[in-house]
Each structure stands twice: as structure tokens, then as C-alpha cells.
Amino acid sequence: MALDEKSMVDGFFGEFGGRYVPEPLIPVMDELKDAFYKYKDDPDFKKELAYYNKEYIGRANPLYFAEKLSQKYAAKIYLKREDLNHTGAHKINNTIGQALLAKRMGKNRIIAETGAGQHGVATATACALMDMECIIYMGEIDTKRQALNVFRMELLGATVIPVKTGGRTLKDAVDEALKDLIENYNDTFYMLGSAVGPDPYPTIVREFQSIIGKEAREQILEKEGRLPDYLVACVGGGSNAIGLFHPFVNDKEVEIIGVEPGGKGNKPGENAASLNFGNKGIIHGFKCFLLEDDNGEISSTYSIAAGLDYPGVGPEHSYLKDSGRAKYALAYDEDALAAFHELSETEGIIPALESSHAIAYGLKLASELNEDKIIIINLSGRGDKDVQQIAELEK
């Protein structure tokens, strides 16, 4: 891939991030970046975004005190209820913001990638709302394990294209979406779903997802009169996590913990834990920690949660790890499944499998703490989409 040195001046988080893209995409990224910085602080844009956040998505969503879990594990456990958003996950925060940006750029053909399908559903939802054409790329394996979300996307008017190349999961869906953008950039807006990709995408996604942490910060100060001791969120690409973490990064008394998918084990191909097992490298136009095989090629990955099944991770997470500001732990499939059941049975909340990784680690952490400690766990999505998959697994 051609590297444009001029574009590398900013868009970095330490040494991570940047813009390593084919030459035809350089002006596309410049146009997007200019539009983003033009509109993100524009009063009319902010007013319209605030309207949809409140009246359409349903924000602010609760910071729920999980009383029964707190009694069981001693520490105070709060859940940031992104599962209560319209469409059932945090993804809608980003797609509404990007759709409003695309509208101002005069682009009405929207493409996106999706893994678990929640970003695809949120993209299709925003496109239906704003009368935009919507094409979703989804790995063929993911279309089967998330068939309900495929139906939702089609119901909302989107065209879902199963990707049959490579591992047929999220990485391959991103590859196909980028190819589409290169061929159709004049009238097409790529609505990237996680805090990954070339500059300015990680910053754009963080901007729209930071509402999670901003609300949580206000809510915990109101409820407890102080900041939490710990923040916990699952990390695949990392958008829900960076949305929670970013508003707290300068609060050194708050420990930040991302939870990666340990999958079936620690060997290559058994997990998708880039920050725990990866090396520094370039994927999809940006530098991050990523999983490679012995030949230096992108490694195959695995996670029970389709939305975490990605061989790289957001550049800001890579920087937070490298700088020591955040810790990145593991939760294995069996941990996530146990947490899925425990939250369902104890609090009456069925979490997404992705979120279940954060729940698993959060409960383990709580069991090691005193009752005066406070943990906020980001409940990034609801588990409706996963119930059939788990039912099949547990037959």
C-alpha cells in the first residue's frame, strides 16, 4: 500500500494509528477529516445530534446499581446500560453521528462492515431514518451465527452481502468494505463501526461514543459523590470501551481495564486477544497491536462473540496499553458463558456475549475487592441476538 507521508503528521496515538492507505483514499480521508472537524462543534450539528440521542436513541441511559451482584461480590457494581439504547447496543451512538455527518457531506450511499450484526443493524436503522441507501458487508460465518440480525438489517431496507473470502468473519468484511470505498468513493460514505481504521476514523468513533463515559461520569458523581475505582469494558475493535474510558483517562485514581476475548485458549487461532498476544503492525490502514502467524501474516482468530472476532484493535487502546494507562485482561469463552447466565439469573438482564466478557472479568475483580470499592462495567449490548447461538451450544 502507498503511504502518504503528509497525512502522517497527525492522527496518531503515540506511535499507533496514522493513515496507511492506497493513494486513491488519501483525498477521501482528507475530505472526511475536514468535514468532521468542521461540523463536530457546529451548534446546529450538535443540536441535531443531541435531539436524536435523546428522542430516538433514548439517552441518557441508566447507570444501574446491580444490588444483588454487589451483595454477592462485596464491591459496588454499576452497569452502564447501553443495552437499553434503541437497537440494543452502543453502536447506534456512532451511526447516528456518522449519518448526520454523511448527510452534510452530500453522500447518500452508505456502506459498513459488521461482525455480530449490531453495527449493521444500527447502520441500517440510521439509513432508514435518514433515507439513505445501505449496503452491509458481513462475513459468511457471522451471517449464519447472527441470522436474526441479518433479518433485522434486511427488514430495515439494507442489502447484506455475505463475504466468502478469507476467514469469512469481521476482518474479511472490512476488507470488502474498503474495496467498495476505493471503487465508489465519489458518492459513498464508509460508516466504520469501531474505533479502528485510518485517521480520522478512530477519532470520529471515539467522539460519538464518548457520550457513554461522559454520562457515566456525571451519574456516578451524583450517586456516589466520587469517581469509580475501576472501569471495565470488553474490547474487540474497542469502540464501546474507548467511549467509556476516554472521559476518565486523565483521572489517575481510576483504573481502566479492557477485557479481550481469550476464546478457547492462548495458542494462535484460539483467541482474538491482540493486546495480550499481538505484535505491533499495520492492518486496515492503521498501526496497532495485531495477531500474526509465524510468517508475519495476519493470523486467524476466534471468539464465541462475533463482535470481538478481529485480529487488531483500536490505536488508542494500543497506546493506553503501551503507555501503561490501561490494563487489558482476558475472559475465555467459558467465563463469558458463565457471566451470561449469572447476570441473566441474578439481575434479570440478558447481556450480549461481547458484554459478557466484561461482566466475567468485572465479577472476578469484585470478588477480590472490599465493599467500599466501586466498579463500572459497560453493558455494551443486550443478548437477544445470542440466545439462539447459546441454546445450540448448550444442547
Cell numbers standing for residue 78? 454499576
The torsion angle over the Cα atoms of residues 95, 100, 106 and 109, rounded to 10 degrees, is 20
Q: How many CA atoms lie within 13 A of 198 on its CB side?
A: 25
Helix axes 26-39, 91-105, angle to 10 degrees: 100
Taking alpha carbons only, the member of 252, 255, 236, 246 closest to residue 213 is: 246
Of residues 7, 76, 107, 113, which has the active-site annotation? 113
CA distance 384 to 80: 18
**Ramachandran region of residue 11, left (φ > 0), alpha (ψ -120 to 50) or beta?**
left
Pair 257, 295: CB distance under 8 Å: no
Of residues 171, 303, 380, 385, which has the active-site annotation? 380
Helix axes 26-39, 201-209, angle to 10 degrees: 30
Of residues 33, 76, 80, 91, which has the active-site annotation? 91
3 state DSSP class of 137? strand
Cell numbers standing for residue 131? 433515507
Taking alpha carbons only, the member of 298, 48, 64 closest to residue 169 is: 298
Taking alpha carbons only, the member of 94, 130, 75 closest to residue 372 is: 75
Q: How many CB atoms lie within 10 A of CB 151?
A: 13
Q: 91 an active-site residue?
A: yes
Pair 370, 74: CB distance under 8 Å: yes
Q: 392 an active-site residue?
A: no
Sheet holding 255-263, edge to edge: 63-65, 76-81, 374-379, 230-234, 255-263, 326-332
67 Cβ neighbours under 8 A, 6+ residues apart = none
3 state DSSP class of 339? helix
Catalytic residues: 91, 113, 380
